[in-house]
Every structure is written in structure tokens, then in C-alpha cells.
Structure 1
């Protein structure tokens, strides 16, 4: 599975030769947790991290699964040590990273950190190019177990002599070496590559998640664009590897309550990592209620089905065409407990959303289904052949779990819900 190679005559690494997902015991399910960047950017220190950990716990977010606390960019000194190591900012992390991670672990969390596949991080701090093994060893010694790996400040082609896959492969190889030397669980490697090189085709060779778009913004057009891009990439997501739609923006910017519900529903049901990017000290009860929706989280964390939901109808778009303002509206997918549907109103006004049940490939013809609303947390009767969600708010969402409860009632006419597709065994049409 592995071979020894030498890069640029100096650095010996392990080259991953497998083309399969990294089934290495970590990252089987999407990560739930917190990342510092969206709320604080470079304004971070050890006190903020400990405050955030305690808030995740006191607000009940740890109890529902948000157990990963990640430091993003700007934690380091601008220069490496004389020996070449990354050094944590002595003023902002005065106790040292190992003491900080020990304290965070003691509260029940796993910890993550950030680096870059180029000379510098996106904020201008030391990147890990040509220092992959050195840096990952440092991060391991500091007590981290997750690495977000970015794509800024890459070297000239005449230095790398390789494409973006090669630069991410270097860090993936370091993950293998550090695991072998420490005997700890392997690092969870999150590729922050932005989708420019079709990362969804190769990312799972090296990491457990990969960004598919540029950075998210806390407004509807950004959400719609990300949903639209990922509607065409859903087949890339499964256990141990998934599309990363970027951090959750709930409570930030100008998102309405309904847009926030749509944001969370789409991210969760597409099996994206769910990393909160909100200032928890100012979080509202409405935002907290969205983040703690256990029925939605249960599907994101489904231990039986790892696949994303996918569109079965593209709403106002002609089939299979891209529209960054009006992404697909009708989605479904299997779960361990039934078929989940996401009905997303991309219009700027309230709308009714109607579909025939068998438009979803996961629904059987001639059966009836109980309907569970995953936002109102109510059982809403039985659906036979079709379903209509009325008055879905602008940019709002309906999330349903349908379970097979037996044959549909006798005597329904026509004999097929999509009557023009069926014929009698003697060759005549059955309805119309």
C-alpha cells in the first residue's frame, strides 16, 4: 500500500498508493464542532478557546455531538524557531499549546489546528510546504488530532514540479508516518482546496473531507451558490470522505430564521462537516434550537448510510443545468430509518412544493408512507402517491422522514401514480 520516495533529494515521505477512501479508523462520520475563523479570524488566544469550550458544554452543544474544537489561522509566531519549528504565539498562547489542548480534552473535546500547503498560510503565517512531517509532528506533540490544510501561497512550479494533488499527498504521507511513530489514532485531515482542481474526484485518497467551493458568506446568495455547486457532486460523499460545504454561518450576517434552517438542513443532510462559526457568547435561542435539532443531526451522523441526499428534480431549472441563484428544490436520500426529503424553496416568495413520491428513487410504488416532519417534530399522517408542502417560506425548507407502512389502499385510480408510464399486461394503458 505504501512506498518510500524522496522529494527534491532531501525529504523522505511515504507515498499513498491507494485510490480508495482512507478507512483508517477516524472520520467515518462527519465532524461536529466549532472553528474559530468565521467569528474571530485572527483575534484568538487561549482564553477565548477555553471560553468557547465551556460555552459549547454549558449550551448543551457537546451533549448533542459537537465535540471538535478547532483553532484556525493566526495562532503562530510569524517566524519559525532557529531549529525550523512552528512556534505558538507566546503572548496569546502563553501557557503553551500542550497545556491548552490538555484542558480542552479534559472538558470532553477533541482538538484541531490549521496549516497550509504553501510557504505561508492565508493570513501570512508559516505554511507547511517542505515541512510537512516536521509540522505534523509538532501538532501531534501539542496534542491536536485534526488538521485543516489550506491552499494559499504555493511555491513556483519550478520548485514543486507537481500539481495540487502532490502537495496534499505530502501531508497525507506525513499523517501516515506520525501515526506509525506515535501509535496514536491518525490525524483527521480536512483539505481546504476550494474545488478548483475537482478535489471531489481525488480528495478521499488523502483526507476525510474536502472543500468544494470558495469561502462562505452569511447571506442567501452565497448559500444558494454552494448548494447549487454541491448538488452536482453528491456522489462523492460517503463514509470516510465527504464534500465540505464550509463552516456554518448561523447567527452571522443577515440570514433570516428560515434561511438559517435551510442552511443547516442542507449542510446536515448532504453529510457535510458541521463546524459552528458563531460567537457563542452572543448566540440566540433560535440559532441554538437549529444547531441542536437532534432529528436532523441523527441523519448527518447516520451509522448505516453515509451517502448524501441528492436532487430528484431541479425545481425551476431545466434538468441538470446550473443556476447559482435557484438551486435544486427537491432532494431525497436513504437513511437507516426511512427516506429523507429536503424541499427547499429557492424562490423569493412563499411557495407550495408538490412531488410524486416515486420521483425519489428510494420510494416504492404502490406503498404508503408515514410522514415525520423533522422541524416541527410531529407525525403528519400518511402520504399516498404524492405530497404537497404548502406555504413554504421564501428561502425556507421542509425536511421529512418517510417510512414504509404497507400497501397503498385498494381501488385508487388510475392504477399508477405516473399513469402514462404503465400498461396492462394485455398492452393497453391503465389510466389517463
Structure 2
């Protein structure tokens, strides 16, 4: 009754010849993974320990040429972009990496097996380009692939990890984006770990960005291998692409932290059909999700509006907050989303995102985002800079496809942000959503633990217990706001109400904030399928739970 699924994601448009090559590569990889991934996905591992190379303690910020230029990369482009970042406020705002993507090398290695920078594109080589970038106080990134060829058909690093890592280090490279084309079907973790070890052996600190398109549940093992990992397929400069990627990434907060970040792909701010409002939404949501901020537009010719979005210091401060928490979805109803991100020092960042095509009012409360204990809270609008106060209501009229962000100060912050299986101590089983359904109103049960998504719960900053992610996220809910013993406990779309708030107590009980009653396995049953309910707290083993 508990099954795993595989999702094949789309790629950004490429020049025709490259598009076919990359699409075929992904299709071949996906076919192989259709066999491998279900076996790997039967158990969802706990987040891996962080890589520990001392890099990306806050999400990396920089530029990558691919979104705007594709294969038209060159030394002159990288140098002019670095110079522009140095003078237009981006470097001062925190952008430090200038990253070269695919197509920088020749189609053959030299006689010693080394990669060769294309002399027409990089007459001073990668070393000369890096020296120039470093002279401006910036860092240089480069691209390679964990396969036999890159996505554009240049030599890949599979089987050449040690040689290539040594080349990167000798050239002064500071960042490696490592793609996933032409991967021969070998497990991603094995291929990416080989390059991790090769980079470490060079002795040079090189930020390691995994780009395996969110396959093989990379978020469950990526922290021990790289500093960030792509959670999705490639983004395109459209609102629909941005929205889809947001939904895929937003539920993975428990896997992110200092030195290891979920990566929903590079920013499309300033590109394609994205409006200024949509670009600000992307920037807001990426910051709220503690994502790498890698600009992908023509920096040297960027409009004033694009630069003002990319350099908003108040929003960047949310992304770069040293607490290192990814924001979580507090509520989502009818395309109106509320996200909350705890910040160092006790403030909370709130994003009110309107997915719909019409202006709408989005409302939440200080309690719903994990703030308590104050008669008034200060709200700072992170886009306008305006400040206001509230006794608890947080609300804004949000334009279609727009996002309003507040920094909320005052009172105290709660919630643990812990994620894992919710173990019923008495039964030795896990709290489970039957048949992995997403149907609102389904009563939860206990079932033999299997690590499935329907058994993976997150205790959020607003004291919700959430299951699933993205647009399918649900909250543990006391039926119909009832507070009597025997009230069924179900899943329901998150709405921030008190019947969806739960206290995880030191004695192992989980109490409903609204009712004061305990989460209870009915009748102390221990069989698969036994239902959960609210009951008067009595200290019984059928009311004891652990989240891990």
C-alpha cells in the first residue's frame, strides 16, 4: 500500500543541436533510473551529515552564463561580467562567484589526458581568466559533468576525476558545477562522491554544486557529498516553470542548512517572459527557501529594475541569514501561500505569495508563523522598506503572481523544524497516511515504518506537523476544530488554525494546542491500521511519540 514514484523533469531550451543531445541524455538516464530509483526510494534516509569543507555556510551567491548565453561563453564575457558585478553593486551586495558553464573546452583531451580550454574562447586559459576575476576580489567557477560527455558533448569527468580536479585547482577555480548527462546509468551518489574526494585531495577549497536534476532523492544524501544540490530539472524564464520548481523545492526544508543547500536552479530574474513582479517573486521565494542566488541574466546590460531586484539588501539578508533555516509553508489555500523562515536573533521572515492571476489579500498571524509573547510586533516590508506594527494579524493585498515579504520582530519564536518518522512508542510503528493518499479528511493510522513520504512529518516553526511537500503538503488536523476525547485526527490543507498546532512535549506526548488533548493510538492497539485520535492525556505508551 506504500509505493514510490519517479518524476522525469524538463530541461531548459537549448540551441537545436544541443537540445536534442541533452534531451536524449536525460531520457536515457531516466529510463535506467526507472529501475533503480524505486528500490532506492523505498526508504527515505535521514538528512546526511554536512560536507564540512567550510564553504557555503550561507547559500552561495554569484553569476552563471548559461541562462543568458548558452554555449556562447568566452573569456571576454566572463571578464566583462566580473567587471560589471564589481561596479554595479552586485559584488557589494554579496555576489562573489563568476561561473563558467558548458562549452568552455575543446572536444578532446590532450595527450596527458587533461582537459583543454578552447584557445579561441579563452586565449588566456582558465588560469588567466581566474587571475583577472580574483584581481577584482571575486571568485571563479567552472562546469563539468559526472558522465562521459557534458550535456553539450564535450569531454566529461567520469573516470577522470583526479586529473580534472587537479586541473581545476591549478587554474585557481573556486566553484564546480557538476552536471549529470551521459552518466552510463551508474548511481549518482557514487559518481558525485568520486569528484568530492578528488576535489578534497587537491587541498584547494572548491565549492561543490551537484547538478543531478533532483534524481535519486539527492536531498537525502547530498549534504555529505556537496555544498548544494539541484532538487529539480532545469528552470526556464517563464512563470509556470518558476512556479513548478517552487512547489518541488519548498517541502525539502529539513535537508538544508549551513554548508548544504537545496538548489531550485539559477535565477531567471531579468530573462524571458518574466515580468518585474514575477522576477521579484522568484527572488523572494528563493531567499525564503535559503536557496543559492545565482544570477543568470546579461549583467553588463541589466536594467535598473533587474539590478534593484538582484541587490535588495533586505531580501538578501533573509537568504544569507546565519541561522541557516529554509522557510516552510505555513498555509496554502487556493493558490495563496504563506511561508515562514526563522532568522538568527529571533525575527521571522514571512512571504505572502499569490500564485493566482488576480490580486488577492493574503492573511496569516504572528502565532501561525511561530511568534508569541508580544502585544505588538514590528513588520518591515522587505521590498518597500516601510515599517508598521500589528497586534498579531499579518496581511497584505498581493498582486497576481506577486509576493509581499515581511520581517517580523518582537516576542519569541518557537517550533523545532525537526523532520522524520513519527514513531508510536507503544506499538513500535509509525504515524501513517493510509495508501499515501492526499485526500483531505483522511484519518491517520499507525503502520509498520517504511520511510515513505506518507510517514515523514515535519514539526514547523508554527507548531504544525506537515506531511508531503509542495502543493500536496498537508497538516495534521483535529477534525472540525473539535476538542472532545475521541476526535479523529486527519490530514487537511494547512491553514494556520489552532487545531493544526501541536506541542511536542519533553515527556514524549504530542498535545493539540487548541484542545490540550494528546495524540493517541485508539485503544492502545498495535496492529497496522490502528487509527489515531485525540484523547485525555494519561501517560500511556500509546500516547508516547518520537520524531526522528
Q: Gaps (5+ residues) in structure 2?
A: 1-46, 413-495, 500-512, 517-548
- Is the 2:381–2:387 contact (alpha carbons within 8 Å) kept by the matching residues of 1? yes
- Is the 1:315–1:330 contact (alpha carbons within 8 Å) kept by the matching residues of 2? no
Matches within 5 A, 1:8-407: 19-155=48-184, 160=186, 163-179=187-203, 184=204, 186-303=205-322, 305-316=323-334, 326=335, 329-337=337-345, 338-360=347-369, 362-364=370-372, 367-380=375-388, 382-390=389-397, 392-404=398-410
How many angstroms apart in 1 are the aligned matches of 2:497 and 2:304? Answer: 44
Structure 1 residues 418 and 367: CA distance shift in structure 2, 3 A = farther
Instruction: Quote how far apart the aligned CAs of 1:336 are.
Output: 1.8
Q: Gaps (5+ residues) in structure 1?
A: 1-17, 317-325, 407-416, 425-432
How many angstroms apart in 1 are the aligned matches of 2:349 and 2:172? Answer: 38
- Report how many aligned residue pairs link the two structures: 373
How many angstroms apart in 1 are the aligned matches of 2:189 and 2:340? Answer: 32
How many angstroms apart in 1 are the aligned matches of 2:316 and 2:48? Answer: 30
Instruction: Quote how far apart the aligned CAs of 1:385 are.
Output: 2.7
How many angstroms apart in 1 are the aligned matches of 2:301 and 2:56? Answer: 30
How many angstroms apart in 2 are the aligned matches of 1:31 and 1:132? Answer: 23
How many angstroms apart in 2 are the aligned matches of 1:278 and 1:422? Answer: 48
Q: Which whole-Å deviations, capped at 9, do the CAs of 1:164-223 have from their partners, x for residues lacking one?
A: 1111111111122112xxxx3x21100001112111111011100000001001111001
- Is the 1:77–1:88 contact (alpha carbons within 8 Å) kept by the matching residues of 2? yes
How many angstroms apart in 1 are the aligned matches of 2:303 and 2:138? Answer: 23
How many angstroms apart in 1 are the aligned matches of 2:386 and 2:251? Answer: 31
- Is the 1:237–1:308 contact (alpha carbons within 8 Å) kept by the matching residues of 2? yes
What is the DSSP-based 3-state SS (H/G/I as helix, E as strand, rest coil) of the residue aligned with 2:181?
coil
Which piece of structure 1 moves more, 364-373 or 221-230?
A: 364-373
What is the DSSP-based 3-state SS (H/G/I as helix, E as strand, rest coil) of the residue aligned with 1:62?
helix
What is the DSSP-based 3-state SS (H/G/I as helix, E as strand, rest coil) of the residue aligned with 2:92?
coil
- Is the 1:213–1:226 contact (alpha carbons within 8 Å) kept by the matching residues of 2? yes
What is the DSSP-based 3-state SS (H/G/I as helix, E as strand, rest coil) of the residue aligned with 1:126?
coil
- Is the 1:358–1:365 contact (alpha carbons within 8 Å) kept by the matching residues of 2? no
How many angstroms apart in 1 are the aligned matches of 2:338 and 2:79? Answer: 41
Instruction: Quote how far apart the aligned CAs of 1:232 are.
Output: 1.5
How many angstroms apart in 1 are the aligned matches of 2:261 and 2:497? Answer: 34
Instruction: Quote how far apart the aligned CAs of 1:230 are.
Output: 1.1
How many angstroms apart in 2 are the aligned matches of 1:350 and 1:292? Answer: 26
What is the DSSP-based 3-state SS (H/G/I as helix, E as strand, rest coil) of the residue aligned with 2:262?
strand
- Is the 2:144–2:176 contact (alpha carbons within 8 Å) kept by the matching residues of 1? yes
Instruction: Quote how far apart the aligned CAs of 1:357 are.
Output: 2.3
The CA RMSD over aligned residues, in Å, is 1.9
How many angstroms apart in 2 are the aligned matches of 1:91 and 1:58? Answer: 27
How many angstroms apart in 1 are the aligned matches of 2:238 and 2:317? Answer: 26
TM-score (norm 2): 0.66
How many angstroms apart in 1 are the aligned matches of 2:515 and 2:325? Answer: 34
